[in-house]
Amino acid sequence: MTFSSSTLCFSRRSALALAGSLLLAACAGQPQPQTVALLTKPKLIVFMVVDGLPQRQIVDYRDQLAPDGLARFLDRGAWFANAHYGHAFTVTAAGHATMLTGAYPNRTGIIGNDWRDPATGVPVYNTQDTRYTYIGNTTNAFDGTSPNNLKVETVGDVLKRADARSKVIAISGKDRGAILPAGKTGTAYMYMGQSGEFASTTFYMAQHPAWVNAFNAAKPADRYFKTAWKPLLPEAAYARSLPDLQPWYAAGGQLPMMLGEGEGDTPNPSFYRSLLRSPVADALSLDFARAAIAGEGLGQDDAPDILSISLSGHDYVNHAFSAESRLSHDHLLQLDRQFQDFFRDLDAKVGKDNYIAVLTADHGFTPASETLKTRGLIAGRQSLSMALAHVNAGLVKRFGEGKWALGFSASTLLFDKKLLAEKGIAQNDMAAEACQLLLAEPGIGAAYTRQELDSNSRTGAPFFEQMRHSWHSEVSGDLQFVVKLNWMITGSAAATHGSPHAFDTHVPLLMYGPKWVKPGRIATPVDMVGLAPTLAQWLGVARPQAAEGAVLPVPRP
């Protein structure tokens, strides 16, 4: 079984001249105009994210792609071969906050998926907001319900401010994958692992519109109960990826994979949650996107809309089995076929000359340590709990008894400031000592103190610029660190991400829209903060106020 679903005017010369001048300015890194109108605006921007998709997978499996899925971008669209994130802590929330704001975490305030309040040490989830609840579903303490922690605006916020008729809809298997791209004024819908439904929250509305209720009433997730995820291609086609059942895989690392196995006779929350680690939740997200296009009339008038779709399954698969596994290989091929069907429907419903499609990822993926070691590389897993114990033991020797470091907060270490004040110890002295202790850990590659990061005093030091991009003075802890190349933080996952190394920063950036985008491979290195200003230019609106990047050098037809 496979899981694809079939269900303002310029003269031409002036416009082309303006486009050319903007492109030259972008390449030179010069500031871009706040408002640009270039020929016809797209009726719809379809912004797609494959969570946890490294660029290397797109290239490595290109010969196995369907004719009109990802190949639509590679053969008939523009694609950047060297697109990277410029921040150090490359995780889902940070990436999703950057893409449509054009700002690094040092401005968005989304420094990680979670962190600790630097004043109290209390855990904070990036989109949690206890004032709001999921509609029709149970809300737990750390569930994401609003963009309250996002400190800046998105392209969608600018678009809706420019034209109240425009709609911004964001859909994802993860709350953060929908809420952060939706911005402050869009509408987010996320997959509910407890019910197999898609739901919004009371931040956005009191109750769902009729089209959402109709979609959920049909219980589309239930039709996958007791079905199998089977490989798309013959066994020999997966020779370039790791075989199933590696000893370091999570449980269930084998295809075919029965969905709902051991879950009784009827679908239940455990089954619904398991769909996230398969192609099914992505197929459901694209089906829900189809319903949103019809239900909201997206792309049907002269007020441009944005539809953001973040597909979460690849991240779950890669964490459990790694991006080098046969399961990840096949999962990407399954997604590719789903895209082919979705593009066919977009062409029919919106019109192939009416929309621009963009596909990217929120971060890449470092290969599992076990895989890297087979390549003769030094690799390993760094335990943060052991690092914390070692750091505190060293601080006790220097400053006396006390739990001086409370714990880790995103990619930072947080001190007990109350204890420091009681003992009369300067935070800078504590940080300098903790920095040396942390660097003594086998997997830590660089570390900088709050004073160094706030004062920008280590320019040119290893990874300092990327770490400053991940550093927010009001949100981050007191000492920031990154892991060494080929190392990862110890946890239950087979593989992970979250470093400034190319494995984690290098992502696909693919674009299709024949009226706006000239096909071809673009070798120019670009930073992902340039994406939001580029979308704003296509839409003819101002760039988001906090955006830091230059418009991308996208060739025009």
Same domain, 262 and 403: no
Q: Is residue 536 in some structural domain?
A: no
Q: Is residue 556 in some structural domain?
A: no
Same domain, 466 and 509: no
Residue-level pLDDT at 492: 73
Residue-level pLDDT at 39: 60
Exposure b/e, 102-111, CB count within 10 A at least 16 = b: bbbbbbbbbb
Return the structure tokens found at 464.
């300092």
Q: Which segments within 151-274 are labelled E, that is strand?
A: 168-172, 187-191, 198-199, 228-229, 257-258
CATH at residue 272: 3.40.720.10
Strand pairing class (305-311; 168-172): parallel
Q: Is residue 30 in some structural domain?
A: no
Looking at the structure of the chain, the number of domains it has is 2
Q: Is residue 36 in some structural domain?
A: no
Residue-level pLDDT at 32: 42
Same domain, 446 and 387: yes
Return the structure tokens found at 424.
């009369």
Angle CA(325)–CA(239)–CA(365) in degrees, nearest 5? 30
Q: Contact at 8 Å (CB) between 367 and 390?
A: no
| Cα distance between residue 510 and residue 358, in whole Å | 6
Q: Residue 68 carries which DSSP code? A: T
> What is the residue-averaged pLDDT of the chain?
93
Q: Contact at 8 Å (CB) between 307 and 285?
A: no
Q: Is residue 291 in some structural domain?
A: yes
Burial of 240 by CB count in 10 Å (0-12 exposed, 13-18 middle, 19+ buried)? exposed
- Return phi, psi of residue 71, to 5°: -65, -25
Q: Is 370 helix (H, G, I), strand (E, B) or coil?
A: helix
CATH at residue 417: 3.30.1360.150
Same domain, 302 and 451: no
What percent of the chain has pLDDT above 70?
A: 93
Same domain, 393 and 364: no
| Cα distance between residue 335 and residue 112, in whole Å | 26
Q: Which of the two residues, 278 and 141, has the higher pLDDT score?
A: 278
Same domain, 235 and 335: yes
Across residues 52-58, what is the average pLDDT? Answer: 98
Q: Contact at 8 Å (CB) between 65 and 71?
A: yes
Please report, as a single letter, which amino acid is at residue 66.
Answer: A
| Cα distance between residue 20 and residue 108, in whole Å | 31
pLDDT tens-digit series, residues 462-493: 999 999 999 999 999 999 999 999 999 988 78
Return the structure tokens found at 284.
């459901």
Q: Which helix (H) or strand (E) holds 357?
A: strand 355-360
Same domain, 58 and 202: yes
Same domain, 308 and 343: yes
* Enclosing domain of residue 324: 46-88+153-371+500-524
| Cα distance between residue 386 and residue 148, in whole Å | 34
Burial of 235 by CB count in 10 Å (0-12 exposed, 13-18 middle, 19+ buried)? exposed
Residue-level pLDDT at 16: 32
Alpha carbon distance, N-terminus to C-terminus of the chain: 40
pLDDT tens-digit series, residues 111-138: 999 999 999 999 999 999 999 999 999 9
- Return phi, psi of residue 407, to 5°: 160, -175
| Cα distance between residue 456 and residue 468, in whole Å | 8
Across residues 48-73, what is the average pLDDT? Answer: 98
pLDDT tens-digit series, residues 179-224: 999 999 999 999 999 999 999 999 999 999 999 999 999 999 999 9
Q: Contact at 8 Å (CB) between 446 and 462?
A: yes
Residue-level pLDDT at 401: 96
Strand partners, 144: 128
Residue-level pLDDT at 36: 41
List, as one string, the DSSP characters of 435-450: HHHHHTSTTEEEEEEH
Same domain, 231 and 304: yes
Sequence length of the chain is 557
Q: Is 134 helix (H, G, I), strand (E, B) or coil?
A: strand
List Cβ neighbours of 408 (8 Å cut-off, separation of 6 or more): 384, 388, 414, 477
Q: Contact at 8 Å (CB) between 536 and 32?
A: no
Q: Contact at 8 Å (CB) between 505 and 527?
A: no
Which pLDDT band, with edges at 50, 70 and 90, does 543 fall under?
very high
Examine residue 269 and say whether the peptide bond preceding it is cis (omega within 30 degrees of 0): no
Residue-level pLDDT at 491: 82
What percent of the chain has pLDDT above 90?
A: 91
Q: Is residue 82 in some structural domain?
A: yes
Q: Nearest Cα to 467, choosing from 491, 501, 436?
A: 501
Residue-level pLDDT at 316: 98
Q: Is the confidence at residue 23, as pLDDT, over 50?
A: no
Residue-level pLDDT at 24: 34
4-13, 246-255, 346-355, 507-516 — which is least confidently predicted? Answer: 4-13
| Cα distance between residue 533 and residue 523, in whole Å | 19
Same domain, 298 and 318: yes
Strand partners, 83: 507, 526
Same domain, 442 and 330: no
Please report, as a single letter, which amino acid is at residue 341.
Answer: D
Across residues 61-82, what is the average pLDDT? Answer: 98
Q: Contact at 8 Å (CB) between 127 and 147?
A: yes
- Return phi, psi of residue 295, to 5°: -70, -35
Q: Is the confidence at residue 34, as pLDDT, over 80?
A: no
Residue-level pLDDT at 26: 38
Q: Is residue 473 in some structural domain?
A: yes
pLDDT tens-digit series, residues 315-354: 999 999 999 999 999 999 999 999 999 999 999 999 999 9
pLDDT tens-digit series, residues 390-440: 999 999 999 999 999 999 999 999 999 999 999 999 999 999 999 999 999
Residue-level pLDDT at 264: 85
Q: Is residue 134 in some structural domain?
A: no
| Cα distance between residue 297 and residue 301, in whole Å | 8
Same domain, 281 and 418: no
Q: Nearest Cα to 420, choosing from 410, 434, 430?
A: 430
